[in-house]
Chain A
Amino acid sequence: MSKMFSKMGWIIVAVLCLSLVVFPACTGDGGGSEPIPYLHDGQFIQQTIGEVDSLDPAWGYDTASGEQTDYIYDTLLSYDQESTTDFITGLATNWTEVSTTAMKFHIASGITFHEGGNLTAEDVEYTFERALVQDRAGGPTWMFNYPLLGKFRTRSAGNITVTGAEIDAAVEIVDTDWVQFNFAFEFPAIQWKQILVQSWGSILDKEWCVANGEWDGDLSGEGWKAYNNPDKQDSYLYNHANGTGPWKLDLWEAGEYIRLIANDDYWRGAPPFDTVITQWVDEWSSRKLTLLNGDADHVYVPRAYIGELLDIDDLLKISALPELSNDCLFFNMNIDPESDLIGSGMLDGEGIPSDFFTDIHVRKGFSLAFDYDTYLADALLGEGTMLGSPLVNGLAGYDPDLPKYEQDLVEAAAELDLAWGGNLTSLGFKFTMVYNSGNIPRKTACEILAEALYSINPLYQVSILPMAWPTILDNIFTETETSKGPLPLFQIGWIADYPDADNFITPFMFSEGDFAYFQDYGSPTVDAMIEAARFMANGPARDAAYADIHNAYHDDPGGIMLAQPLGRRFFTKYISGFYFNPTIPGTPGPLYEMSKSES
């Protein structure tokens, strides 16, 4: 008897297992064929990843914060649609260059903040002085500090290095309704406008800020110093907002969603959506289904999943958008000799010496060995532009016809034969590359390089190691007294602060630049070229200067330049009005100019 029962038990098992396999297969991708319903009239709902860090315009330096700040606040001026060099008026109705070191903006009248205050020139002056006073570590205000005060930060080794008078003089009200910015040196107006137009240029209401415990605007004594580099929670503005923008902050449920409601008295006219809801949803399948069910109008689509949406008709699909960002595999020319990743630490075939990459033949050989086409196809699914220098498409000075490396294993082998006095071929080398665990494109890049080198010479051995992102950052941005960090090669990317060539060239190539410094890259000659080009007016002369800089990077590569990704956007078909401006933070685009309707 019991034998029969156990047989029945097994039959039940079999049926269950079968149904578990078959059921998902039947239901799996059934959603695509049905039309997406029109839901949530008057609302724009998006699902994305990435939390808002702070709603304080002078604090936020991430896209999520910038996007929400953009919806709530206005800046003095705006880009003209897709252009990154032409401007239209914002809270400033007019602006002029007073001199090469000063620029003034006429502040519009009759504009009110959400909480009722009137916009005045004083508010504008306060906004920028507050940004200079606050200047939080790791924040965006260096873009103001540098032209206005002549230094990147207001502190050095924990001590405040600027005076109240300097800040006071940097921004001042002239002729009652004009605000004038006085630069520390000759600074191109277009770059200043490009800085002001971003979210950190959002204008605050002075009275409201002061009433809520913010800095009181007094620069005369020492009192303002207490407001320098605060903790995030010390500022009222991190989770409160009072702007002049098209939407007002309704509710921010950290981790869940942020909800904005229409500012019907908006000076440009009532916004197209009564409510804008940004929900944070980590799970892609959940975001996808929400989009296909019409419960969201727009979702963030990771590159790997783009294929799942391409066949769905009811979507507005926009492609080939040149994002202002890039990725690069940097050579570390002064590796920490204590590093675990360089084997023996000597050129004996069992490791690499600390100064391995100082030999230009090594760097050129590596650059020639890398299989760029495979990288583009595998890591970016073909959606990207290969670069020859840090400059990306969309910046003045970028020229696709300038030379860039392509894979040539014969030439790569020849270069490596020349390296280290011709000894590398016979000795070989061993070291370890790291990538941040979970980042498939970066892992792919490591594998491509490792395979190519091994195929050239089996003695060229590169192993690959995943590491947590904070650990990688720790290992990149570190130095000892005599060397830089322990990573022989590191991969990281750059996202534009403002769309100017210098914003890309300086971090990569200037010897004190964000990345160059930590790889011991750069030369006085190139530094001089960069400084000369930095403040030139846009035009053929500047283009030529950047072409030279590009060639300098090609001749003396600081890293293997990878690609500039091409972006895609997916909306339901009910959304219209999207245009691409790479400086708009977040993925929905120019929301105020977009709309949603059933037809």
Chain B
Amino acid sequence: MELRAYIARRLLLLIPVLFGVTVFIFAITMFFSPTERATLYVTSPQGMRDLPSIIEQYGLDRPFFVQYGTWLNQVFHGNLGWSNVVSMPVGRAIFHYLPATLELAIFATPIIILTGIFFGSRAAAHKDKPVDHATRVVAILGWSLPTFWLGLLLMMIFYGYFRGLLPPGRLSSAMEIMVTSGDFIRYTRINTLDAILNLNGPVLLDALRHLILPVITISTVNVAFIMRLMRSSMLESLGKGYILTARAKGVQEKLVISKHARRNALIPVITVSGYLFAALAGGAVITETIFSFKGMGWWASQSALRLDISSVLGFALFMAVMFVLVNLVVDILYTRVDPRVRLGGGVQ
């Protein structure tokens, strides 16, 4: 199938997906009473006596389809609603919080995938050898370490014990002032990228300094997943006939692994890596909270905790779009890695 037609068809698929997702989430929020949802707008015990008028004001007691219809109508007019937890429109909130999360994802995903693939294939190539045991142990440890524990530990060491070495937050306050002053143009709000675009070395270094710990935290937790997948996929691949053929051809063992086995083993890893990126782009709640690296995860969790429904819906829409797009990219990548796969057709 032609690539363009395929992409168009997949994007069209977004419409029912988005509709389904929002109806589903909206329906779930209806399990909360109007009063519970109204407490979002009340900030002190004194305001409680106005709950009935807030319910009236925001139409929180109207029937499900009326409320959903109002929301949908508003979306068709290009307005995703108001995110009360952060006092800005939902659309702007996404663009406000996405850069931080993307920055983490952009740095963490390659690290996770590359180390996962590297150690996964090493472990498979040296099955039942010390390397294999060590990588598996580290993988299991990383996987089972609670994120908050690891994050706090890293912060205590690199910010507490080594005083101020790798601070939490996205930028130190002096750099934050520089970034928000007139001379520095925030093209993307991804600090590292903006620093490069502005040719500003100090901001770049400072941003990187703040990125190290959260990226390590996210990576440690997620790398195990890719590593284990890569290992089993690689073991499967190493048992295939073409590996024996390659060896019988006289290919060096290193190349047998890196050329013949790995490329085939990568195929399942690509799918998972795609979803990993999509998931990371949806934010890492705990990491973002511990390191005050506030992004999508933090925003979404705050919205959910305070029953800020338009924010939750906005986030869900974003995630649905994200996953569909990632799926699309994964499918296209497939065709590049595995010649047997054709768009829309699966394996021939």
Contact = CB atoms under 8 A, between A and B. Distances in A.
The answer on direct contact between A and B (beta carbons under 8 Å) is yes
A286 B48 contact: no
A529 interface: no
Given A251-B180, A470-B39, A293 B159 contact: yes
Given A6-B133, A8-B130, A52-B87, A229 B57 contact: yes
B87 A239 contact: yes
Nearest to B133: A9
A138 B130 contact: no
Interface in A246-265: 250-251, 253-257, 259
Contacts, number: 205
B157 A285 contact: no
Contacts of B132: 9
B45 interface: yes
Interface in B77-104: 82, 84-89, 93, 96-97
B160 A61 contact: no
A295 B169 CA distance: 11
B288 to A, nearest CB: 10
A31 B44 contact: no
B212 to A, nearest CB: 15
Interface string B23-56: 0000000001101110111111111111101101
B329 interface: no
Contact of B33 (A6, A469, A474): A474
A410 interface: no
Contacts of B169: 279, 281
Given A474-B39, A514-B48, A293 B173 contact: no
B156 A289 contact: yes
Q: Name, among B86, B141, B163, the residue most crowded by chain A CB atoms within 10 Å (CB to CB).
A: B163
B133 A138 contact: no
B35 A477 contact: yes
Contact of A286 (B50, B93, B291): B291
B110 interface: no
A27 B156 contact: yes
B53 A155 contact: yes
B115 interface: no
A138 B161 contact: no
Contacts of B96: 253-254
Contacts of A468: 36
Contact of A137 (B36, B57, B89, B157): B57
Nearest to A468: B36
A3 B68 CA distance: 63
Contacts of B325: none
B177 A16 contact: no
A135 to B, nearest CB: 10
A210 interface: no
B94 to A, nearest CB: 13
B70 to A, nearest CB: 13
Contacts of B89: 233
Interface stretch (A69-77, A390-398, A442-450, A493-501): A493-501
A495 B47 CA distance: 12
B116 interface: no
A220 interface: no
Instruction: Assign chain A's interface to a size class.
Output: 35 or more
B38 to A, nearest CB: 8
A28 B153 CA distance: 8
Given A138-B41, A233-B82, A285 B164 contact: no
B87 A54 contact: yes
A61 B294 contact: no
A152 B47 CA distance: 12
B228 to A, nearest CB: 16
Given A254-B96, A293-B163, A9 B137 contact: yes
A158 interface: yes
A332 interface: no
B51 to A, nearest CB: 6
A255 B298 contact: yes
B314 to A, nearest CB: 14
A367 B98 CA distance: 52
A2 B128 contact: yes
B134 A9 contact: yes
A282 B151 CA distance: 14
A433 to B, nearest CB: 19
Interface string B265-295: 0000000000000000000000001111010
Interface in A457-478: 468-471, 473-474, 476-478
Interface residues of B, number: 72
B155 interface: yes
Interface string A126-155: 000000000001111010000000001101
A559 to B, nearest CB: 14
Q: Name, among A9, A62, A286, A290, the residue most crowded by chain B CB atoms within 10 Å (CB to CB).
A: A286
B32 A514 contact: no
A401 interface: no
B78 to A, nearest CB: 15
Contact of A16 (B51, B141, B155, B164): B141
B13 interface: no
A417 interface: no
A283 B292 contact: yes
A293 B158 CA distance: 12
Nearest to B89: A233
Interface in A279-315: 279-283, 285-286, 289-290, 292-295
Interface in A12-62: 12-13, 16-17, 20, 23-24, 27-28, 30-31, 34, 37, 40, 43, 45, 51-54, 60-62
Q: Name, among A30, A31, A137, the residue most crowded by chain B CB atoms within 10 Å (CB to CB).
A: A137
A53 B134 CA distance: 50
Nearest to B86: A254
Given A6-B133, A17-B141, 17 more contacts: A2-B129, A9-B130, A31-B163, A51-B86, A61-B46, A62-B44, A139-B50, A142-B46, A232-B82, A283-B292, A285-B152, A286-B290, A289-B159, A293-B163, A293-B164, A470-B35, A507-B46
Interface of A: 2, 5-6, 8-10, 12-13, 16-17, 20, 23-24, 27-28, 30-31, 34, 37, 40, 43, 45, 51-54, 60-62, 65, 137-140, 142, 152-153, 155, 158, 229, 231-233, 238-239, 250-251, 253-257, 259, 275, 277, 279-283, 285-286, 289-290, 292-295, 468-471, 473-474, 476-478, 492-495, 497, 507, 514, 517
Interface of B: 32-33, 35-37, 39-51, 53-54, 56-57, 82, 84-89, 93, 96-97, 128-130, 132-134, 136-138, 141, 152-153, 155-157, 159-161, 163-164, 167-170, 172-174, 176-177, 180, 289-292, 294, 298-299, 302, 306-307
Give the 6 A-B residue pairs with the shortest CB-CB distance, closest first: A9-B133, A138-B47, A62-B43, A474-B35, A254-B86, A137-B50
26 contacts: A5-B128, A8-B130, A9-B130, A10-B133, A23-B157, A24-B156, A30-B161, A31-B163, A43-B173, A54-B87, A137-B41, A251-B180, A254-B86, A279-B169, A279-B292, A280-B292, A295-B167, A295-B172, A469-B39, A470-B307, A471-B36, A473-B39, A473-B48, A477-B49, A492-B45, A514-B46
